[in-house]
Structure 1
Amino acid sequence: MNKPPLKRLRSRSPALLAAMAAAGLGAQPGPAVGQEAALEEILVVGSRIKRVDEVSSSPVQTLGEADLRINGALSLGETLQTLPTVGPSLNLNGSAGTSHGTSSINLRNLGENRTLVLVNGHRWVNGAGTRGFRDFVDLNTIPQAIIERVEVLQDGATAIYGADAIAGVVNMHTYRTFEGSRVKAYYGQSGEGDRESVGADLLLGHSFGRSNWMLALSYVDKKPIYSQDRELTAIPLNGLAAGTPEGLFRESGLAGVVSFPVPSAGITRDPGVDGSVIANWRPAVSATDRFNRYDNNYVVGPLTLKSVYLQNLTEMGDTLEFTLEALYNERESDQLFSGAAPVVRGGSRGFVIANNPLVNPFGIEFSGSDFRIDNFFEDVGQRDNVQKVKTKRIGAGLAGAFGNGWEWDGFLSWAENEGTFTSVNQVDLDRLALGMLACDTSGIAGDVSDLASGCVPVNMFNPLTPEMVDYIRFTGRDVNKAEQIDFTVNVTGDLLELPAGMLAFAAGYEYREEKGLDTPDSYINADPRVNTYRATTSAPRDGTDGKYDLNELYVEFDIPLLRDKPGAQELSLQAATRYSDYSTFGSTTNSKLGLAWRPVDSLLFRSTWAEGFRAPSILELFEGLRATSVPVDDPCSGGGAGLPGCAGVPATYVQPSANVPATVGGNPELQPETSENFTLGMVLTPTALPGLSVTLDWYNIKIDDTISSYGAQNLLDLCAATGQRCNFIDREASGEIANVIDGPINLNKTEVEGVDMVARYFADTGVGTWNFMLSVSRLLDLTEESTLPDGSVLVVDKVGTAASREAYPEWRSMFTTQWNSGPWSANYKLRYIGDTTEEPSPGEFRKIGAVTYHDLSGSYAFDNGLLVRLGVDNILDEQPPVSLTNLNINFDINTYDAVGRFFYAQLTWDLGM
C-alpha cells in the first residue's frame, strides 16, 4: 500500500519500538521481540537518517513505559541512575557538597557534563545552580509524566549531535499524540515513617481533525530525612567540630582574670549556666568541648516539582506537519546546615569585644592578635540554603517531504532556567562586630550610620537574646539564569541505488546561543566596614555574565556494502562528520565511522570509531572570582617551617583548621576537551530460542585536555617543597593560610574502558507473559592522568576504588522480571553495586562491600480503566555502606540509596474524553 512519506514513517513506529526493545532494555510485552522484525527494522539510533531497514552500529538501550515505572520513582533521574552504565550522579542525598536540588546522569563514569541530554531529539537547557549555572541538564526539569520512552546511546555522537556527547546521549521521547485523559495519584513513605512522597499527574489529549493537542500537569512533593533519624548518619565519623554554641574563647589577657591556667583551646562554659559570672567559666578541653554540626542536617533533601506541558502535532496535508512544545517547570529544594560558624578573631580580622559590662563580664578588652572565638551561632538558627528554580521552554517545528523519499525538518526553541537562591540565617559580620563593641562607633573610619541605627549590644558570653538575633541575622539572595536558543534544520533521503541497497544521506545545520547571568547578593559582596574580614558569613563572589554562539554543519551517509551474500546477509558502513565554529575557541571538525555486519540472520557484529569534544561551559569560561574553602594538610604546619617554601612561617605554627580559604574563577582562554571513542560489539537473536536477544559491547574512550585545576593541596605541597608557585598562596603573619588561588585549565587526561552485556528473554506461557532482562557492566579501566604544578604527571586507576562522593566498582548489574496475565502484573528488580576499596589516609586501605537492592511491585487493572499498583523498593532495607572518605555524612551520597525500605501506592485511571 502506498502512503505519503510522513504517514509511512509514522506507521512504522510500532516496529521501531519492537526493534529497540530487542536491542536494548525496552520492556514492552507481546511481540516486541520477534527477531526477524527486530533485526530488519532496527532504527539507526544516533543517526539523522530516517531509515528503518538498516541495522545500527551503535549500542543503545531503550526504556519503555514499563521500565520507567517498574519502581517507586517519581522523577526520571531516579530511574536512569539505576542503570549499570551510569556512574556516581547528583541526587537529593545529603546537605554539604550536594546537588542543590538538581538530578543528573553520568554515563561511563565520565561526568554529567560529558553526557548529552535531548528531548524529542533536541537539546535541553542546562540547569541553574548556586554560584551561577550548571554545565549539565537538570533532569528534574523534565516531568516524567510526559515521557513515553528513553533511548540511551552509549557511544560518542558528536558528529551527529555536536558538543558534549562524549560518553553518550540520553534522548527522551514524549508521547507523540495522546487521546483521552489519564489521572495518576501517588503516595509513598519509608519504612521508618519519613520521606513522605506525594505525586499527582493529569494528562489530557484530544484530536481536532488532523491536529492533536496534549496537556500535562504534574506535581511532586518529597519530604526530607534528617541525619539524627538514621543510625549511620547520627554522628559524623570524623568526630565533632571544634567549637560549641557556648563558644571557645581565647585571649591572652584572660590569664590575669580567671583563676585557672588558660589552655590553648581557650575557656568555655557549660550549657545553661550564666556566662556573666566569671566563676562559671572553665578551661576548654579540645577533645570533649565539641559540637555535632551535622545534627538535624538532611540525609535526603526535600523536593517540590510543579510542571505544565503543552504539545501539539498538526498534519498540514499529507507531506507537512507542525509541532509545538511548551513547558513551565518549578523546582523548590533546600539544604540544612548548622548555625553559622565564622572564625571571629582579632588581628587580621579586626574583631574586638569591648570592655563594657553590656557585652563582656571579664573587665578586659578582647582585641589581641591571639583573640579568637570558635562558636556556632545556633541561637540565630540553622542555615538553610533554599533554591527556587523556574524553567521555561517553547519550541516549534515543521517537517515535510519533497517526494522521492526525501524529507526535511526544522526546529526552533528558546529556553530559560532562572534560579533564586536564598541563604537563610546567615550572620551580618559588621553588625556582629559593632554589637560586640557595645554599639560604640568611635574609632570607625567609614560611614556606619545604617548599622548604628537600631544597634543592639551583642553579648557573646551568654545565649543571644531575640533582639540580638534580629539585629545580626542576615538573609542573602542570589539570582542566576541560563538561556538557550537553538535552531536546527535537517534533510535526509536516498542519494542513489547501489548493488546492496540505497545509499542514504542526511545533512543539516545548527545555530545555538548559550547565555549565563549570575547576580550575587550585593550586600554579601560589599566591603566590610567594622571588621576587616568580610560583610557576612556568606562567601562573597563576583557576578558572572557570559555568552557564546556557534554555527555547525554536518553530513552523514549510510552505505550498504553487501546484502544477501554468503557470510554477509548484510554489511553496511555509516560515516558522518560535523564542522563546529564557536565564538569562544574557534572551530573544530569531528567525524564518526560505524560498521555493521550480519553474517547470518541471527547474529550481528557492530563497531564504531568516533571523535568528540566538550566545549568549555559558561561557568568554566566566565565565572566571576569567588571565595570558597577547601580541605588541605598544610605542609608548613607542625615543624615544616624549615621547608624552602615556608620561609617566614613561625616554627611554632600549627594549622588551626582543616579548611582553608581559596579563590577560584573562570578562564576565558580554555580550549575544548577532545575525545576518541571505540566500540566493538555483537547482537545475538538465536532462531532456536525465539524471544531471546543478547548484546555484548566493548568500549574505550580517551579524553585529552580535560578541564581541571591543580588543586590547593598540590599547590601547597609544591610551594613548600620547592618554592615554586608560592605566588598562588597568601599567608597571615601567624603562618595561617589566608588564601589559595586556583582555577580551571586544560590540564589532564582520562581513559575509560569496559564491557556491557544485556540479555532479554520474552515468553508467552499458559500463566501469562514474561519479560526477563539482565544488564551487566564491567569497568576494566578508568585512568586519570593529572598534571601537577611542577609539570610531573600523576596516573591513578580508579577501577574498584571509592573516594569522597564517588565510587567506581568493577561490576554493576541489574535484573528485572515483568509478568502480565490478564488484569494482573508483577515486577521485580534487582540492583547490584560491586565492592570497592577506599583510602581514608595515605597507605591505609579499607574495603567497602557490595550492595544489592531488591524492588517488588504488583498491579491490577480494572475494567473501568483504573489501575492500582502497590510496591516496595529496597525490600530488605539495605543501608548504605560506611565510608571513611565521606566522614561528614558517613556514606557516598552519589552512589547509594539512603532512604532504606520504601512503600508506595499508585492509582492510574485512563478515562475517555
Structure 2
Amino acid sequence: MNFRTPAVRLGLLPAGIALALSPTFASAQEAAAGTTDLDRISVTGSRIRGANMETQQPILTMTRESLEKQGFSNVADVLNNLTSAGSPAISRSDSLSSGENVGGYYVDIRNLGAQRTLVLMNGKRLGATTAGYQDLSQIPMAAVERIEILKDGASSIYGSDAIAGVVNVITRKNFDGGEASVRVGQYGNGDGDEQQYSMLLGASSERGSLTLAAEYSKQDPVWAKDRWYSRDGGRGPNSVAGDGSPITQNGSWCNPLQVNCSDSKTAVWKTLNQGGNPNNPNDYHVLTEDEYVNSNEQMSLLTGVERKSLYINGTYDFTDRISLNTDVLYNERNTFQQIAGYPYQSGASNINTPMSADSVFNPTNVNGVGGQEIQFRRRLWEVPRTTDSQLKTLRFAPTVSGYFEVADKTFDWDVGALWNRNESIKTQRGDMSLIGSEQALGASFINAAGVAQCGTAANPIALGDCRPWNPLLPYGVAGQGSLADPDLQDLLFPTFTTRGVTKTTSFTANLSGSIVTLPAGDLGFAVGVEHRNEEGSYVPDAFAQSGKSTGLGQKPTQGEYDLNEVYLELNVPILADMAFAKELTLNVASRYSDYSNFGGTTNSKFGLTWRPMDELLVRGTYAEGFRAPTISDLYGGLSSSFERYTDPCAVGVSGSVAGNAACLAGGAPANYVQLGQGNVPCSTTPCQSGDQFVSGANPNLSPETSKSKTVGLVWSPRWVQGLDISLDWYRYEISDMIIEDSVDRILRDCYVLGNAGRCGSVTRAADGHISAITYGTANLGKMETEGYDLGIKYRLPELAIGQFSIDWQTSYLSKYDEANQNSAGDSIMIGKVGQDALFRVRSNLGVNWAMGDFGVNYTARYYSGLNEPCIEIGCTDPDRIAYGETAPLRKTGSNTFHDLQVSWKAPWDATIAVGANNVFDHKGPLMYSQQNSSFAYYGGFDIGRFLYMKYTQRF
C-alpha cells in the first residue's frame, strides 16, 4: 500500500478507544483526498512544494465530489458541520445580534473563536471585518474545487490568526466546457424556501484557460412564531428573546398621584380597559402577566439571505516555465433580520422622555386643566426593528509563478499580490427618534378642526413638523395619536444607514526547492517575504451616533496598520529505508512579523514524521502562534448594549454578598433584588439589563499568543485493502487573549474582592439597580483545550450489489478551561466541557452506496449532551458545588440528526439528486441559556426537516 497518498490518515486506533467512542460517528464531510500527483503542488500548512508534505500534519480535504453529496448549499454550512468545528459564530439564529459582523458566515475550528481560524482562498487571505471576522459567504459554492482544513497552529507559515487552524478554499480552474445547476428546497413546515442557480463556463488552450462561475442563491427567513420552541415566547417576565415582557404593545402607565412611580417595589402599572377611554384615569386596570407581550411573534428565527457572485479565473503560460494565474471575485450578500418593536420605557436613563403634564393624551390632564407628568411603557409593536445588511466584495489576486533548475535541482518561485475590498451598508428602521418622541409627548391640544396638534392653542406647531403621540392607546385600537398613523411613523422612525469599508492589500514573494541531497533524501526549503496593509472603517449613522434614538449607541471605528514579514521553512530527511525507520523527517519553520502598531513577534513550528513500517506513520507538531489585535480592538468606537449579568449585591443570587460594605457604599440596599427589563425583579440570573451599558476599544493591546501540540498515528493495514484508521491528540494554550472586561468581572472585583478601583465605572439608580457601566477590552483572557480526533475510512471491495464506502469522523473534547476568579479572589481555570455549546463528543458517520448511475449518501450527525446553569427551571443537579460555590445544573441528552441524498446520472449528461437534511425531523432539547441563539434552543441544531432537489446539466 502506498502510505503517502491519503491526505488525512490520522492514527492507530486501539480497540478499547474505538469501543469507548462507539456512540460517535464520522462522515464524508471530512473525507481525505485520494491518490494525487503532488509534483510541485502546494499543500496547506507548508510552503515547500513536495509529494509527502500532506502526511506531516492533520489535514482534511473535502473534494468537489464529496461536497456535491451533501445537503448544504454554502461553504460555511459545510465547514460548520465538521466534527472539529465549534459553534457557529453569530449564527442565523442570533436575531438579537447587532453590529458590523452580523449577516456573515464564519467558521470556528476547535471552539477557539472564528477570529482564531485563518481563512484562505487559493492560499491568500480572505477579506475580514474590522473585528477580524472572515465571511465565508464571499465564496460561491459553484467555484469551489476542494477545501483543505489544517487542524493545527500555523502562524509560522501564514502569520496572524492561524492559531486554531487554517481553512484553504481552492477554486476551480482549467475547466473546459459548461455546467448549469439549480437547487430548490424548503423546510417541512413550508417555510425557509431556498433557491440556488449557478453556471460554470470554461475554455482552455495549450497556453491558457479561462473559467467563469456565476451563482445566485436566496434563503427566505424563518419566523420564531412558526417553531415549537419559540412560538410561545419566553418562560417568564425576564427571559431574553421571547421575553413575556411587561412592556406591552398595549401601553401602561404609573399614576404619580397614587403611588411613588420611581420605586420599583411600590409602583403600579396600569393598562387601558378594552373599549375604555384613554383620557379617563378610571378606565385602566392593573397590568397582569396574562397581558405581557410575546415578542417572539415579531422575531425572525433565521435571518434571510440573498447572494450574487461572479468568479473568474484566468491562467496563461508565458513560457514553459513562467505562468500567470489570476483570480477575480465579485460577491454581493444581503441579509434581513427582524426583531420585535422596541420596549420603550420613558423613565429609562437613556430615554428620559415622560409624557408632558400638558399633553392632550395625559390621563391626569382632565378637560385640559393640566395634570402631572407621567412615566409610561410601550412596546413599539407597529414598527418592528428591521436590519438589511449588504456586503459587496471585490477581490483581485494575480500571481506570476515559475520554476528553474540549478545543478539538477528544481526551484519553484512565485510573486503575487492581493487587493480585497469589502463594503458594507446596513439599513435599519424601527428605533424611535428621541427628539421626535420628546416633541410628540410634549404639550398638545385639540385644534378647531378637532385634530390633536403639538404645542398650545396660542403657540401651535405645524402638523408637518410634529404630531402628538398617545402611547397609552393599545395596538390595533384606532384613535388620535395612534402609532399606526403613517404620518406619525414618518416623524418618529428615521431610517439609519451605517457604512463600513475594509481593505486588504498584500504583496508576497516565495521561493522553494531542494538545497542538497542528504542520505535520506532532499533537504527541502521555502523562504518568503510579505508586506500587508489592513485598513478599515465602520461609521454608524450620524443620528445613531448622537444617542438621540432608542437604538444601541455606537461610535465610528476607523484605523489601519501595516506589517512586513519574512519566513523560512526547512524539511530535513533524517532516516529512510531502514529497519523501524522507513522515514524519519523533521520540519522546522519560523516567521518574523513586524507590525506598525505594536512591534515585532517571532513564531516557530517543529514537526516530526516517523514511519516505522510502510503501513504505520507517527507524527507530531509543536507550534507557536499569535493573533494581532484588530482594527476594532484598537480603534473601535464606543458602543452600547443591554447586557446579561448577575449582580453580587442582590439577594438570592449565586455568590451573593448583599449588604456588605462595598455594596452599601455603592448604593445597593441590603435587601436589594436584581432588576431586569422594565425594572421588574429578575426571576433567573444572569438577567438582561433594561439600561444600556457602554463598551469600547483599547489602543494599547498586545497580541494574543498560543502554543499548540499534536501527536498523531496513521495506520493503513495491508491485509485490509481500502481501510485507513487515524487518531490525533491535540492541545492548545492561549494567553493574553483579547476579551471584553465583562460586567460580571467588574462587579466581582468591586463588590466581592473589594477592589475599590474597579467600582468607578458602576452607576446605580436610587432603587439600587445598575443604570450605567463602562468597560473595554484587555489582554485578560487565558484558555486551555485538549482533545482527540478519530477517523476511520473504509472503501469496501466492489460487490454485486454495488460499491460501498464508509467515513467515520469523531472529535472528542477532553478539556476546555478558561481563566476566571472564584469568590475568594483566587485565579482558577474553569472547565466548560459540556457547557456553552462545547460538546464532549461530535461525530459524523457517512455511508455511500453507488451502483451504475445510481447513488445514495447517508450521514448521521451526532452531538453529545449539554449542561446549562439553572436556578429554577428543570435543574437536574440543583445541589452541585463547583469551585467552592453553588452551581446548579440542568443536563440535556445527546442528539443525532440524519441526512439522506439519492442521486441519478441521466443519459443526457445530467445529475438529478433529491434529499433531506434531518430526514426524521429530530428536535433538540430546550436550552434556556440560549446557546449561540436568541432563543431557547442551540443555534447549531437543525430547526426542522429540510427537503431539497438539485439538477445539474453538463454540456
Tell me whether the two structures share a fold, i.e. TM-score over 0.5.
yes
1:452-463 superposed matches below 5 A: 454-462=465-473, 463=482
Answer yes or no: is 1:728 the counterpart of 2:731: no
Q: After superposition, give the CA deviation of every residue in 1:670-728 in whole Å (9 maximum; x if it has no partner).
A: 11111111110111111111111111100111111111133112212332342441111
1:19 maps to which residue? Answer: 6
Answer yes or no: is 1:111 the counterpart of 2:139: no
Deviation at 1:148, TM superposition (A): 0.9
1:525-536 superposed matches below 5 A: 525-526=545-546, 534-536=547-549
Cα separation, partners in 2 of 1:751 and 1:397, compared to 1, 3 Å: same
Q: After superposition, give the CA deviation of every residue in 1:767-805 in whole Å (9 maximum; x if it has no partner).
A: 332221000111011011136899642421011223xxx
1:707-786 superposed matches below 5 A: 707-721=738-752, 722=754, 723-763=756-796, 764-786=798-820
Q: Distance in 1 between matches of 2:194 and 2:39?
A: 44
| Equivalent residue for 2:195, pick from 174, 198, 203 | 198
| Equivalent residue for 2:226, pick from 224, 229, 246 | 229
State the SS of the aligned residue for 1:241.
coil
1:220 maps to which residue? Answer: 217
Cα separation, partners in 2 of 1:450 and 1:738, compared to 1, 3 Å: farther
1:222-371 superposed matches below 5 A: 222-239=219-236, 240-254=244-258, 264-270=267-273, 273-285=276-288, 287-345=289-347, 350-356=352-358, 358-363=360-365, 371=374
Cα separation, partners in 2 of 1:44 and 1:479, compared to 1, 3 Å: closer
Answer yes or no: is 1:584 the counterpart of 2:597: yes
1:820 maps to which residue? Answer: 850
TM-score between the two structures when normalised by the length of structure 1: 0.90
State the SS of the aligned residue for 1:216.
strand
| Equivalent residue for 1:475, pick from 495, 498, 502 | 495
Q: Distance in 2 between matches of 1:30 and 1:789?
A: 47
1:647 maps to which residue? Answer: 665
| Equivalent residue for 1:557, pick from 567, 570, 573 | 570
1:848 maps to which residue? Answer: 892
State the SS of the aligned residue for 1:242.
coil
State the SS of the aligned residue for 1:152.
strand
State the SS of the aligned residue for 1:433.
helix
2:634 maps to which residue? Answer: 621
State the SS of the aligned residue for 2:128.
coil
Q: Distance in 2 between matches of 1:753 and 1:148?
A: 32
Q: Distance in 2 between matches of 1:637 and 1:89?
A: 34
Deviation at 1:136, TM superposition (A): 1.9
Cα separation, partners in 2 of 1:270 and 1:338, compared to 1, 3 Å: farther
State the SS of the aligned residue for 1:588.
strand
CA contact (8 A) 1:636 1:643 kept: no
Answer yes or no: is 1:570 the counterpart of 2:583: yes
Gaps in structure 1 of 5+ consecutive residues: 1-14, 128-132, 527-533
Deviation at 1:273, TM superposition (A): 4.0
Q: After superposition, give the CA deviation of every residue in 1:100-128 in whole Å (9 maximum; x if it has no partner).
A: 2211111111111111111111111114x
| Equivalent residue for 2:402, pick from 380, 400, 403 | 400
1:646 partner letter: L
Cα separation, partners in 2 of 1:232 and 1:521, compared to 1, 3 Å: same
1:608 maps to which residue? Answer: 621
Which range moved further: 102-111 or 85-94?
Answer: 85-94
1:125 maps to which residue? Answer: 127
Q: Distance in 2 between matches of 1:373 and 1:304?
A: 40
Q: Distance in 1 between matches of 2:353 and 2:69?
A: 58
Q: After superposition, give the CA deviation of every residue in 1:813-835 in whole Å (9 maximum; x if it has no partner).
A: 00111222221111111100111
2:864 maps to which residue? Answer: 834
2:483 partner letter: L
CA contact (8 A) 1:246 1:270 kept: no
CA contact (8 A) 2:425 2:500 kept: yes
| Equivalent residue for 2:175, pick from 173, 178, 194 | 178
CA contact (8 A) 2:697 2:777 kept: yes
2:879 maps to which residue? Answer: none
State the SS of the aligned residue for 2:494.
strand
Q: After superposition, give the CA deviation of every residue in 1:255-305 in whole Å (9 maximum; x if it has no partner).
A: 699xxxx962321124554423433211223x3331112223122221101
CA contact (8 A) 1:593 1:610 kept: yes
Deviation at 1:613, TM superposition (A): 0.6
2:834 partner letter: G
Answer yes or no: is 1:410 the counterpart of 2:415: yes
CA contact (8 A) 1:762 1:771 kept: yes
State the SS of the aligned residue for 1:352.
coil
Q: Distance in 2 between matches of 1:766 and 1:281?
A: 79
Q: Distance in 1 between matches of 2:142 and 2:56?
A: 31
Answer yes or no: is 1:702 the counterpart of 2:707: no
2:667 partner letter: V
2:95 maps to which residue? Answer: 95
CA contact (8 A) 2:10 2:728 kept: no
Answer yes or no: is 1:464 the counterpart of 2:483: yes
CA contact (8 A) 1:33 1:762 kept: no
1:8 maps to which residue? Answer: none
1:458 partner letter: W
Deviation at 1:465, TM superposition (A): 4.6
2:379 maps to which residue? Answer: 376
Cα separation, partners in 2 of 1:840 and 1:789, compared to 1, 3 Å: closer
Cα separation, partners in 2 of 1:31 and 1:422, compared to 1, 3 Å: closer
2:926 maps to which residue? Answer: 882
1:810 maps to which residue? Answer: 840
CA contact (8 A) 2:259 2:266 kept: no
CA contact (8 A) 2:531 2:563 kept: yes
Cα separation, partners in 2 of 1:213 and 1:666, compared to 1, 3 Å: same
1:433 partner letter: E
Q: Distance in 2 between matches of 1:31 and 1:844?
A: 43
> How many residues matched?
866
Gaps in structure 2 of 5+ consecutive residues: 12-25, 237-243, 446-452, 474-481, 652-656, 681-687, 872-885
Q: Distance in 1 between matches of 2:317 and 2:821?
A: 56
1:426 maps to which residue? Answer: 431
1:719 partner letter: C
Which range moved further: 638-647 or 820-829?
Answer: 638-647
Q: Distance in 1 between matches of 2:509 and 2:40?
A: 25
2:240 maps to which residue? Answer: none
Which range moved further: 455-464 or 406-415?
Answer: 455-464
Deviation at 1:54, TM superposition (A): 5.2
Deviation at 1:891, TM superposition (A): 3.4
Q: Distance in 1 between matches of 2:934 and 2:704?
A: 33
State the SS of the aligned residue for 2:908.
coil
| Equivalent residue for 1:500, pick from 514, 520, 544 | 520
Answer yes or no: is 1:137 the counterpart of 2:134: yes
Q: Distance in 2 between matches of 1:590 and 1:256?
A: 63
State the SS of the aligned residue for 2:692.
strand
Which range moved further: 544-553 or 636-645?
Answer: 636-645
1:20 partner letter: A
State the SS of the aligned residue for 1:166.
coil
Deviation at 1:53, TM superposition (A): 4.2
